[in-house]
Amino acid sequence: MINRGNIRDESLARRLVKLAVMACAVAAAGWGSRALGVAGGWQAQVAVCTFAGVICTTLFFWTHRVAAAFLGVAALVATQTVTLEGMLRSTELDIIFFLIGMMIIVGVLKDLGFWTWVIQSVVNTRAMTGLSFTVILCVLSAVLSGIMDEVSSIVVVLALVFQVCDTLKVKPAPFVLIAVLCTNIGSAATMLGNPVGIFVGNKAGFAFTQFLAVAAPVAAVALAAAVGVILFWFRAPIREMTARMARHREGHQGLGPPLRIPYRRGLLVLAVTVGLIAFHSRIEAALGLTGEANRNAFLIVTPLIIAAVLMICRPRRARDYVQNDVEWWTLLFFILLFAIAGALEEQGVTRNAAALLGEWVSGGPPALVPFVLGLSAVGSAFVDNIVFAAAFTPVVQSLAERSADFSVLWWALLFGACFGGNVTVVGSTANMIALGLLEKRARVQIAFHEWLKIGALVGLITTLIAWAMLCVLPAQAPAAQRGAGPGGGGGPAPAQALPQESAKK
């Protein structure tokens, strides 16, 4: 009885400490924004404190983040910090619909046995060693996370890890960690891999192929460097797996049952989806979907069209796809978070922050790239990366409206948010899902400091690679550069500066 009471007291004390730290952080954010001139009026300070409160709740009380976001939106509307119309306009429903469609498609592919076929194809590879399995695991994790969302990807890849490790009686923890590290890196390669990708890409106005042309090379080089670090860091478990595989072959035993799995329908669905998304800009031009109001219109609706056709073809499973395969909890948090970030933009906080940032950091875009990369990487290491993307997007957008040269900051935000997710256990949703599956299947936990050692190393190296490549690669402005609209922080001068900058390039 005494021990239980002590546990309850300790838990309550820890919560009180977290609440005290959270209150200090929110108060510091409000005071600091006023002192720096970023939030002049009381409503702007309410917007800053509300957003800081949601960030702190996400960090300290992860399970209550949706409730905190609900209260935050209610407080903003009640204090007239944001109008109801402004709140609804900021929810980014186009991105939410895109994610819903993709989640349904992934669920159908699972039903069709496509992911099982992928797993069996790897398992039944002949003459496999621990080294070749690790390399395949790294590449597969990165590629799958690039063509689907990172959450679904890590579930599929870990099914492969657990099957191989259970068969060979090898500890799965190192290979789970390997899969997660490469998943976070690969998720930056396309607009499909990470919610940050579609959010940044759509807000910036990048076409899918334009996004791929810049993001994929950076992600590929970062992945190659990460694989080198991984092969050295986990050389002992890899050697052990090689020895176990050799003994397994002596007994003429395979790593998995030789199943014949129908995969053509799933492969066709995936090919059609990726193909339509890849050529969305040409389809939009053919359909007359041009202008700012229709930017990336076909890109957004393509998953909805494919998902609708699949649900019509499989009517008995349609309800299950919507109810079970769509992460409504996560999407609801995104909607509320976008609405709260919209209040910062409506109160002019982001425009003031962009102006202050430009004054502080001399040297223009080249000097701001490491700043945005580092800040988003460190922030994403401790809070969900979409939080920082939602906060920084209006700031980058305000800078990009001044000159197309600042468009490079979109890439800094993307790579910092995705690569920074590798640093800690709580850096990305994929990390926490992987830990949950590992604990459920193997009754094993990865200590925070164990993750931090390899995660920080990989995160640092990949972020430095992104910085170096962004300095070398030609900066690409979005296909449809945003003009300076009303209240957008610029008048005729910024609007005229864009064509001049483009002409220089």
Q: What is the mean pLDDT of residues 217-223?
A: 95
Calculate mean pLDDT across residues 135-144.
93
Asked whether the predicted pLDDT for residue 308 surpasses 60, the reply is: yes
Q: How confident is the model at residue 253 (pLDDT cuts 50, 70, 90)?
A: low
pLDDT score for 477: 61
Q: Is residue 278 part of a domain?
A: no
| pLDDT at 2 > cutoff 60 | no
Of all helices (H) and strands (E), which one includes residue 148? none
Domain-embedded: residue 215: no
Maximum pairwise Cα distance, the chain: 77
Distances 98 to 95, 207, 208, 413 between C-alpha atoms, Å: 5, 15, 13, 21
Q: Which of 106-120, 380-394, 412-426 has the lowest mean pLDDT?
A: 380-394
The answer to whether the Cα torsion of 402, 407, 410, 412 is positive or negative is: negative
What tokens does 302 get?
A: 């393509």
Determine the pLDDT at residue 497.
35
411: CB partners within 8 A, 6+ apart: 214, 215, 218, 466, 470
pLDDT, position 349: 83
pLDDT tens figures, 371-386: 889 888 888 887 777 7
Q: Which of 24-33, 66-75, 367-376, 420-429 has the highest mean pLDDT?
A: 66-75
Containing H/E element for 407? Answer: none
CA atoms within a 13 Å half-sphere pointing along the CA-CB vector of 15: 9
Going by C-beta distance under 8 Å and a sequence separation of 6 or more, which residues neighbour residue 82?
47, 76, 90, 339, 342, 343, 346, 347
| DSSP per-residue codes, 46-88 | HHHHHHHHHHHHHHH-GGGHHHHHHHHHHHHHHTTSS-HHHHH
Per-residue pLDDT reduced to its tens digit, 107-133 = 898 888 888 888 878 777 777 888 999
Lowest mean pLDDT among 220-224, 401-405, 472-476: 472-476
pLDDT of residue 225: 96
The mean pLDDT of 192-208, rounded to a whole number, is: 85
Note the Cα 189 to chain centre separation in Å: 11
**Within-domain flag for 3:** yes
Burial class (CB in 10 A: 0-12, 13-18, 19+), 306: buried
Tell whether the model's pLDDT for residue 229 goes beyond 90.
Answer: yes
Residue 4: per-residue pLDDT:
41
Q: How far is CA 71 from CA 61, 78, 81, 340, in A?
A: 14, 10, 14, 10
Residue 70 has pLDDT above 80, yes or no: yes
pLDDT band at 51 (very low <50, low <70, confident <90, very high): confident
Between 355 and 326, whose confidence is greater? 326
pLDDT in tens, 17-34: 888 988 998 898 888 888
Please, which pLDDT band fits residue 473 given cuts at 50, 70 and 90? confident
488-493, long-range: CB < 8 A, 24+ apart: 488/351, 488/398, 488/401, 489/351, 489/354, 489/355, 489/398, 489/401, 489/402, 490/401, 490/402
Flag whether pLDDT at 61 surpasses 50: yes
Once rounded to an integer, what is the mean pLDDT over residues 257-280? 83
Q: Has residue 51 been placed in a domain?
A: yes
Closest listed residue to residue 99, CA positions, set 347, 332, 342: 332
- Residue 27 falls inside a structural domain: yes
pLDDT at 479: 56
Tokens of 77: 């509307």
Total domains present in the chain: 1
Average confidence score pLDDT of the chain: 82
Separation in Å, CA 470 to CA 361, 414, 457, 503: 18, 12, 20, 20
Highest mean pLDDT of the ranges 227-231, 290-294, 359-363 = 227-231
- Residue 327 corresponds to which tokens in the numbers above? 């992460």
Nearest CA-CA partner of 349 in 25, 32, 87, 28? 32
Confidence of residue 476 (pLDDT cuts 50, 70, 90): low
Residues, the chain, total?
505
Q: What is the pLDDT of residue 504?
A: 36
- The C-alpha atoms of residue 432 and residue 416 are separated, in whole angstroms, by 19
How sure is the predictor about 189, in pLDDT bands with cuts at 50, 70 and 90? very high
Domain that holds residue 31: 1-81
Q: What is the mean pLDDT of residues 238-259?
A: 74
Q: Provide the pLDDT for residue 205.
A: 83
If phi > 0 it is left, if psi is from -120 to 50 it is alpha, else beta; for residue 162 that is alpha
Residue 59 lies in a domain: yes
Whether 126 maps to a domain, the answer reads no
181 touches 443 (CB < 8 A): no
Residue 147's pLDDT is: 85
pLDDT at 157 exceeding the cut of 80: yes
- Residue 258's nearest CA partner among 127, 114, 123, 158 is 123
Q: How confident is the model at residue 234 (pLDDT cuts 50, 70, 90)?
A: very high
pLDDT at 178 over 90: yes
Domain assignment present for residue 105? The answer is: no
The predicted structure's pLDDT at residue 320: 92
